Every structure is written in C-alpha cells, then in structure tokens.
Structure 1
Amino acid sequence: MIIDNTIKDYLHYLKVERGLTDNTIASYGSDLKQFNKYLTAQKITDYQSIKREQILNFLQLQMQQSKTASSITRTVTSLRQFFQYLAEENIIQKNPMLLIDSPKKREHLPEVLSVSEVEQLLRVPDTTKVLGLRDRAILEVMYATGLRVSELVHLKLADLHLSLGLLQTLGKGQKERIVPLGSQAVKWVERYLDEARPKLLGHQRSQFVFLNNHGHGLTRQGVWKNLKQQVRAAGIQKDVTPHTLRHSFATHILENGADLRVVQELLGHADISTTQIYTHLSKKRLQGVYNRYHPRA
C-alpha cells in the first residue's frame, strides 16, 4: 500500500509540478504499475531495500515478455525519473538507478508513404457521405500540417483561421504553435464544416472540430481504427498509423527543399535532433531513387 501511494503521489507530482501531458503520465504510470507488480511478487514493501540486481531482474523479465527495445528504453527512463524523485523526497538514501545504464537505442526509421500512396489514401473516403467528407477533411489536415493525432482530436473551432490558411494547436508540454494549412486542406475543412459537421452535431453543442456519429469529439483510437480501414481500402501494404502521415508530411517537405529548422517549428519539436531523423529518411529515399533509375547503379 505504501508503494502504491508513493506511485500515485509521483504521478500527481508529474501533472501538477512538472506539467507533463496526460499521455506521458499514462506511459510512466503503466511502467511503474508493472514494476509495482514485480515488487509485490518479490514481497518487497519499501523502496529503501531495492537493490540494483532486483531492478535488472525486472528489466530482464520485461525482455523475456518480448517487449520492444524502445519499450525497454522507455521503462528505464521511467524508473530513472521515479528513483530520482524518491531521492529528492528523501524516501531513499541511495539511488540504485545510478548504477544502471540505459540500453543503446537502435535507430529506427519510421514508415513513410510516397506522394502517390498519400494520393491513393486521400481518394478512399466517399465524400458524398457525411462520414466520408469528415474522413477526407481529417486526412487532408493531417497530411497538410503534420499534427499529432492527439493534437488533431483536441482541435477546436476557435483554433481554425481558415481565411488566413492557418490553425493553432497545443503540442507537447502545452507549447502552442501556428501551422499553415494548405489550400486543399482549407477547401475540404470548409466543406466538412458546412455540409457534414452540422449533421453529426444534431442539436448538441461541441467545441471540437472533428466529431463522431454521436456528435462527440473523436478519440485517438477512433482515428487510428478508421485509418487502418482506409489504408486497406487503398491497397497500401505498409503498417500505417496516424503518425505515418506526420512522418510523410515532414519527409516530403524536406525533399522539396524546406529548411530543417522550419520543419522543426512545424512539427513542434523542442530539440532539432528529433527532427534530424527526417534527413536520414530523405537520404535513404534518395539512394533508392538513384539505385532504381541510374543505369550504372
């Protein structure tokens, strides 16, 4: 119970004092819940008695459960932050995580759609129907702006400035940014707002732009599920998620000459090193085009 309450206090601290997003806090909470389960099985009731070897055993169990390398890396980060908090609160005198290195993260290049595949996907929704018009507007916005899916579902009517071709959004760390919205996306959003949204809304009220069948705001899971169906209908043989459209947006504008700092600003990355993965993607695609078309490649 003491351990459970300490985790609850820590998650509350992350929200109130650190100002982390709900998604980040949920990820930390999930990792610590697994760790708590392990401690319970080992009959460990206080943090002071936890040794480095026990944490390593826990991480080894995570690996045996076929957790991905990125998942293990995130778990180590969660534990490192948590034990630092315990030390600062004088709950522990020695921090066992200081003796544990983070696993080396393998560079993973995300899946990206080609321009023609994006066009195939955009043609899938039946825009003669209410939900089809909504889905076309969603796809256009995601590809035109590179919004995260959490930013998309929380997009409000007041965030749209269609006459200026702009929208505003709150990204990670509650950081606001202004993102251009291309003419095609503006056209489809205007059509959705005029023709489809009033029918989805009915007699209700909602501040959110994109609504479900019941007139409520969409969820991340709802967008993900719809996209999976659309990808299948488009005949695209790639593992496409909402984040794939964000990756495709960044890669395509870089390939067309955009400055890396501009892409960083558009994506809302705090650190440009996060944005630099897209330069690797562009080089990889450039190599593929060269190998395919050069007669002596």
Structure 2
Amino acid sequence: MVSQDLRAKYLGYLRFELSLSDNTCAAYLADVDKLLGWMEREALPLEQLDYSQLQHFVAQLYDLGIHPNSIARVISGVRSFGRWLELEGYVAADPTTLLEVPRKGRYLPTVLTTEEVDRIIEAARSRGGIEGLRNAAFIELLFSCGLRVSEACHLRFADTFLDEGYIRVLGKGSKQRLVPLSDSAIRELRRYLVHPDRPTPKRGEEEYIFLSARGKAISRITVFVYIKEAAAAAGVEKNISPHTFRHSFATALLEGGAGLQAIQLLLGHEDVATTEIYTHIDRTRLREQVERYHPRNQQPKD
C-alpha cells in the first residue's frame, strides 16, 4: 500500500520544489487522495499501478456521476503525481503518460452589469456602521481593480497609494503588479479608512486595510457571506461570488474596447516576477486603459 510517508514527501515536493501555495497543494493532494483511496480499496500495490489500472480508476469517477470538468482536474493532479513518482524512482515509467483528460465544456462565468454592481454596493452599505462602509469599499475594489478576493483581503497600507491613484498587488506565485484605482474606489476606501469606528487592529494585523470586527485581516469566508447577503438584498438573483466582480471587471474593459494585453496585465496573468520589472512599465498607459474603458471612470465627477 502507498504509505503516508510517500504522501508527505509528495507534499514537500509541491510546497518546496514547485513553490505552490497552500491552497494549490491541498487541491493536488485531494486529487491524489482519490487515487490512493481507490488503490487501497482495490488492494493495489504502487508497483502494479499502470495505464490499464488508471483507466479503471477514471471509469469509476464517471460511474459516480462526477462532472467531466471535475474529472479533468483530478486527472491533472494524478498526472502530476505520476511524473513525481517517476522522477523519484518509485516507478520505472510514469503510468499516467497516456491518461487522457476529458474534453471540457465551455464555461461562461457569471458577469454583473455596472447597475447590478451599484445595487449590491448600496445594499452592502445599507448594513450601516463601519461594516457597511468596509463591505462597500471592498466590493468596489473588487470591481474597479479586478482583484482576487485573497489579494483584497491581504491588501496592505504599504501597497496602497491613494494620492497617486494605484495599488500594488501581491498575486499568485508572489508576483506583484500595479493596478490603477478608479475615483470611486479611492472615495470608498477613504470613507472607510477615516471612520472613527474602524476596529483597532490586533497585534501583527496593523498592516492590513480591511479588518474584521475583532481587528484581524478579513477572511475570504466573511467576504463570501456578506456578498451573498448584499446580492440578495439588492435583488440580484445571479449566483455570484467574490470572483464574479473580477470577471465583471475584465468583461467591462473588453466590451469597452480595451486591449487583451492590458487586461491580462491588470489581472496578473502576465509572467512578471519582481516589483522592479513593474517600475519600468508605463503606468500612465495602464491608467489610460482603465480610465478610458472601465465604466467607473465614465461617470460625472462629484
């Protein structure tokens, strides 16, 4: 049987050799655990794992009614595991080489209109008090800047330049990018930050912009809950999550005529490794893309 020690070594490979995030490591392990659990039930030793056995494993996933997109993700994780087994000499040849990923259906993400975003922000604000201001500012930042929810949750004062009109974002793989702030985002952030009822941060949490009522950096779960509540209160019946605002940001720019390269850069999809590289990017050109094409910058000034 496959030992827990082998599993731990694979986790170490993901974490230290590939430098994957904790969430990505957990996802890979969850996929591999499905295979290992099946092997245990079948009393199948590691050295007997071959392409034929893997076909039986995948067939079982289909029999369980798992969606092809989810099966494709599991196979992706299993193939990574197979490559590692060969690399470390546990098997003579990678048994997953010929394993095919099922064709995925086209996925069209949910997108919000600017009017729907406005209603959700107002519903969040109507919660009242400092939480209402915080939630409204957070949602505005997601929509105006296209941030991932984890990026917004961990936004720091040191990376926020309201007078200059941009933020520095730490994205996946510890890559940094500069993102212009719309006037709406600046206004919402200032309303929240200057409010006297903003919680006193706990020790070690002083650097974060968005705080929970207990003074700690706000969690993704908290954001997910209040966004769902605000959407329901606003009468928006679409199934949305914090990531929906990122999709809506990109869609608004694309439909407005912005170039794909600028959108990819703003979303953090470019292969940029260090902050120094960003200092050589023409920030004025990026700002012009957002100011010209994003609906938040096509509104009358206050």
**32-41 or 138-147: bigger deviation:** 32-41
The one-character-per-residue Cα deviations of 1:11-47 (angstroms, maximum 9, x if unpaired) are: 21111111112221111011112222111111224x2
**Whole-Å Cα distance in 1 between the matches of residues 234 and 43 of structure 2?**
52
Indicate conservation of the 8 Å contact 1:210/1:218, yes or no. yes
Residues 200 and 214 in structure 1, CA contact (< 8 A), matched pair in contact too: yes
* Counterpart residue type for residue 98 of structure 1: T
Amino acid at match of 1:163: D
Q: Is the 8 A contact 1:3 1:36 kept in 2?
A: no
Q: Distance in 2 between matches of 1:215 and 1:244?
A: 27
Counterpart in the other structure of 2:98: 99
Q: Decide which structure has greater helix share.
A: 1
Residue in 2 that maps onto 1:152: 152
Partner residue of 1:59?
58
- Residues 200 and 211, structure 1, Cα contact 8 Å, conserved in 2: yes
For residue 236 of structure 1, report the CA deviation from its aligned partner.
0.8
1:217 positional shift: 1.2
Determine the C-alpha separation between the residues in 1 that align with 2:87 and 2:201.
Answer: 52
C-alpha displacement of 1:58:
2.1
Post-superposition, which runs of at least 4 consecutive aligned residues in structure 1 deviate over 4 A?
Answer: 202-205
Shift in alpha-carbon separation, 1:130–1:70, aligned structure 2, 3 A: same
* Residue matched to 2:34: 34
Question: Aligned residue for 2:118?
Answer: 119
What CA distance in whole angstroms lies between the structure 2 residues aligned with 1:76 and 1:4?
A: 21
Tell me how far 1:202 sits from its aligned partner.
5.8
- The separation in 1 between residues aligned to 2:157 and 2:201, in whole angstroms, is 16
Q: CA deviation at 1:99?
A: 1.9
Shift of 1:53: 2.7
Give the distance between the partners of 1:6 and 1:180, measured in 2 at CA.
46
| SS in structure 1 at match of 2:44 | coil
Please give the alpha-carbon distance, in whole angstroms, between the structure 1 residues aligned to 2:8 and 2:92.
21
- Structure 2: stretches of 5+ with no match in the other structure: 272-302
Q: Which residue of 2 aligns with 1:86?
A: 85
Name the aligned partner's letter for residue 121 of structure 2.
Answer: L
The more displaced of 12-21 and 257-266 is: 12-21
TM-score, with structure 1 as normaliser: 0.85
How many Å apart are 1:214 and its aligned residue?
1.1
Q: Corresponding residue for 1:109? A: 108
233 and 66 in structure 1: CA distance in 2 versus 1, 3 angstrom threshold: farther
Greater Cα offset, 11-20 or 66-75: 66-75
**Which residue number in structure 2 is paired with residue 222 of structure 1?**
222
Deviation at residue 244 of structure 1 after TM alignment: 0.7
- Equivalent position of 1:16 in the other structure: 16
Q: Do the aligned partners of 1:151 and 1:169 also contact (CA within 8 Å) in 2?
A: yes
Q: Secondary structure at the match of 2:258?
A: coil
What is the aligned residue count? 269
2-11 or 179-188: which moved more? 2-11
Moved more, 63-72 or 145-154: 63-72
CA distance in 2, matches of 1:145, 1:252: 11
Deviations 1:110-136 (A, max 9, x none): 110112111111111236411000000
- Structure 1 position 100, deviation (Å): 1.1
C-alpha distance in 2, partners of 1:170/1:137? 19
For 2:248, what is the secondary structure of its paired residue?
helix
Q: Does the C-alpha gap of structure 1 residues 103 and 203 become closer, same or farther in structure 2, counting only changes over 3 Å?
A: closer
Offset of residue 67 of structure 1 = 2.6
Q: Following TM superposition, by how much is the alpha carbon of 1:63 offset from its aligned partner in structure 2, in angstroms?
A: 2.8
Map of 2:161 onto structure 1: 161
Residue 250 of structure 1 and its aligned partner are, at CA, apart by 0.3
Match status 1:243 vs 2:256: no
- Shift, 1:204, TM fit: 4.8
The code of the aligned residue for 2:185 comes to A
Contact 2:124–2:226, Cα closer than 8 Å, also in 1: no
SS in 2 for 1:67: coil
Q: Which residue of 1 is the match for residue 71 of structure 2? A: 72
1:6 is matched with 6
CA contact (8 A) 1:122 1:139 kept: yes
Report the counterpart of residue 295 of structure 1 in structure 2: none
The alignment-based identity, stated in percent, is 34
**Counterpart code for 2:59:** Q
Q: 1:201–1:215: 8 Å Cα contact kept in structure 2? A: yes
Within 5 Å, which residues of 2 pair with 1:156-195? 156-195=156-195
Alpha-carbon shift at residue 60 of structure 1 (Å): 2.5
Alignment partners' CA distance in 2, 1:159 and 1:70: 37
> What residue ranges of structure 1 are gaps of 5+ in the alignment?
272-297
Counterpart position of 2:259: 259
